[in-house]
Amino acid sequence: MTIDWAHFTPLSALAGGALIGLAAALLILGIGRVLGAAGIVGGALEVQGADAPWRWSLIVGLVLSPLVARLLWSVAPPVFVAPWPALVASGLLVGFGARLGSGCTSGHGVCGLARLSPRSLVATGIFMAAAFVAVFFTHHVFG
């Protein structure tokens, strides 16, 4: 394995990561809620109550963010490389798995690790390992 220096962007990765951490900090200190995207989307879909409006507000903020980003700097539109049946399968597994496992990349991988939660450390290790294996199969075995 070699480092892909052509694509590796350590500074913007750190800076963007710091913004994600800032968002998590604002949410936990400001309104006392954990920034876990799967919990927020899943909760918004399920719960009719006091927690529904802020969850939908956060989702609106996420959807508006590319428009704001494009006012500030040049952002290339994303390219979804996987064909649509793979995206459907991916979405189903991501949605089901993140709810069963109580968290996703932001909930366990960022907030959970920042809380020093052993549960989130295990979850993050498992979903990373599973994703490495999935990419190995889709890109190198069947790819």
> HSE (CB half, 13 Å, CA atoms) of 140?
5
Under the binding rule (CB under 8 A), the answer on residue 71 touching other proteins is no
142 touches other proteins by CB under 8 A: no
Residues 28-47 that bind other proteins (CB under 8 A): 28-35, 37-39, 41-42, 45-46
Interactions with other proteins, residue window 110-139 (CB under 8 A): 110-119, 122-124, 126-136, 138-139
4 is an interface residue for other proteins by CB under 8 A: yes
Count, residues near other proteins per rule CB under 8 A: 117
Q: Is residue 48 part of the contact set for other proteins (CB under 8 A)?
A: no
- For the chain, what's the residue count? 143
DSSP string, 88-142: HHHHHHHHHHHHHTT--IIIIIIIIHHTT-HHHHHHHHHHHHHHHHHHHIIIII-
Whole-number Å distance between alpha carbons of 4 and 9:
10
What is the closest distance, in whole angstroms, from the C-beta atom of residue 48 to other proteins in the complex?
13
